[in-house]
Amino acid sequence: MGEMTWEHHSSRDFRPLTPDQVRKKQFSRAKLARRGYSEEEVESFLYRVADEMAGGDKEKADLRAEIDRLKNWYKNQGADVADPGMGQPRVSIDAVNILSRAQQTADAQIAEAEDYARRLVGQARQQYELTLQEAQQRAEEAAVEAVDAYRSSGVVQSAEAEELESRIAYLRTFAEVTQVQLRAVLEGLANEVNKLGSLPSRSRQAATDPLTRHG
C-alpha cells in the first residue's frame, strides 16, 4: 500500500472487450444429447457485445459534445466567459420545465416497466409453486403405479426393491414435469427484467428510424 494517492485513481468500471476476444470467445459445449452451443451463453454474450458497442457510441457522442464545448470556448476567448463561481447565469425557465417534464415521463415509464416486471415475476412465481405441487402429486401417483406394476410383474418381491422402484418412478416423473418448464419461464423473465434500467442509446433509436435503416 504505502504512498497511494487516490485522487488520480479512476479505473474503468469494467474491462472493455477487444475485437480479438470476440473472435476467440470459446463457448462451452451444451449438455449431453444436444448438439450446438449453449443458447443462453451465446445470447448473454451477444448482449454484452451490444452493450459495449452502445457504450462506445455514447462515449463518442460525449467526446463530440466536448469538442463542441472547446470550440465554443476558443470562440469566446476575449469575450466574457462566466467563471464557475457563485454568480448566477440565467437559465430559461421554459427549458427547465421542458426538461423536468421529460424527466417525469421517463420516471413514470421506468416505474411502470418495473411494476410490470414485478407483477410478471410474481405471477411466474405462483405458477412455479403450482407446477411444483402438481409435479409432487403426479410423482406420488407414478410411484404408487410403479409399485403396483412391480407387484403384478411376478418377479420375486422384496420390500427394498419395491421402495426403490417407487422412488425411481417418483423422481423421474417429478423431474420431467418441473425442470424444462420452470427453467424456460424464469430465464425468459430474467432476460426481460435485464433489459430494464439501461438507457436506450441514440444509435438504437437511429436504427429504428426508417430513413437511416440500411436494408
Partner 1 sequence: MDAQALKDSWHLVARSGDQVPLFFYSTLFLMHPETRDMFPVSMAAQRDRLVSALGRIVSNVDRVDEAVPLIQQLGRDHRKFAVVAGHYPAVGHALLATLQHFLGDRWTPALANDWKQAYELIAKVMIDAADAASATSPPWWEGEIIGHERLTLDIAVIRARLNYPYPFRPGQSASFSFALRPRLWRFYSFANAPRRDNTIDLHVRVVDGGTVSTALVHGVQRGDILRVGAPVGDRLTLNPNLPRDLLLIAGGTGLAPLKALVEQVAYEGPTRRVHFFVGARTSRELYDIEALTKLETEYPWLSVVPVVSHDVLYRGERGQVADVALRAWRGQEVFVCGSGEMVGATVTRLVEAGVPNEQIHFDESTTGEGKEP
Q: Match 443458447 to its residue by C-alpha cell.
A: 39
Using the rule CB under 8 A, give the single segment among 17-25, 150-158, 165-173, 196-204 that binds partner 1: 196-204
Round to the nearest angstrom and report the end-to-end CA distance of the chain: 56
CB under 8 A: which stretch of 25-33, 73-81, 93-101, 201-209 binds partner 1?
93-101
DSSP 87: -
Q: Is 169 exposed, middle or buried (0-12, 13-18, 19+ CB in 10 A)?
A: buried
By rule CB under 8 A, what string of x and - marks binding of each residue 63-82 to partner 1?
--x-----------------
Instruction: Note whether 14 binds partner 1 by CB under 8 A.
Output: yes
CB atoms within 10 A of CB 184: 10
Pick from 71, 122, 144, 148 the residue near partner 1 by CB under 8 A.
Answer: 122
Q: Does 6 bind partner 1 (CB under 8 A)?
A: yes
Neighbours of 166 (CB within 10 A): 19
Instruction: Centre a 10 Å sphere on the Cβ of residue 176 and count the other Cβ atoms it contains.
Output: 14
Residues making contact with partner 1 (CB under 8 A)? 1, 4-7, 9-11, 13-15, 44, 51, 62, 65, 84-86, 88-89, 91, 93, 95-97, 99-100, 103-104, 106-107, 110-111, 114-122, 125, 128, 136, 182, 186-187, 190-191, 193-194, 196-199
